[in-house]
Amino acid sequence: MRVISGEAKGRPLKAVPGNTTRPTTDKVKEALFSIIGPYFDGETALDLFAGTGGLGIEALSRGAGRCIFIDANPRSVEVVRRNLEAAGLSDRAEVYRNDARKAIKLLEKRDVRFDLLFLDPPYAMKDCDELLNDLASRGMVAEGAVAVVEHESGFDYGERFGEYTRRRHATYGETALSIYRYGGEAP
């Protein structure tokens, strides 16, 4: 695994020891960012279920202004911190160990709005639509935000839920990406 493009291009990323995380492959990551980017201009990102931090780190490398990384696994949190340091991007990141739902409640108090949302939970979880709707109901999603859900290819979140409309769906073997736009079109 590595950072594919941007200011940290080519920097290697460490994996979380053991088999509790499933990092996004470079092939899927490259396809994802060619769909939603490829580059950004100061956006605020959320990497929920961060794992190695690969998606948020790639967004930062490509110009996102800051990213908040959340993962419940202490080993993942440590790997995200190390990967941010190795990529030279720690100064634009916050990393927290917490359950996704609890983290959302805590972040709401900070009055933060996200332009980019990355949700890559364990494939057994099938509630990313509920999590995204929760973020929106709390006023934490910017108009026109892009939400990326990585999930198993045999599952479908549908074309629309809440104020989210799917703009793209792509399958890469056992992995699928569902890319949604929140509310109106991006400026």
Please give the domain boundaries of the chain with CATH numbers for all domains: 26-182 (3.40.50.150)
Distances (CA, A) of 161 to 134, 182, 183: 12, 10, 11
| Percent of the chain residues past pLDDT 70, beyond the cut | 96
CA nearest to 114, candidates 92, 91, 135? 135
Q: What is the pTM of this model?
A: 0.94
Tokens of 159: 């074309």
Residue 13 · residue 53 · CB < 8 Å: yes
Q: What is the pLDDT of residue 56?
A: 98
* pLDDT at residue number 180: 98
The per-residue pLDDT for 186 is: 43
Model confidence at 127: pLDDT above 90: yes
Q: Is 79 helix (H, G, I), strand (E, B) or coil?
A: helix
Residue with tokens 């839920």: 161
Residue 69 β-bridge partners: 47, 95
Q: Is 172 left (phi over 0), alpha (psi -120 to 50) or beta?
A: beta
* For residues 75-100, average pLDDT: 97
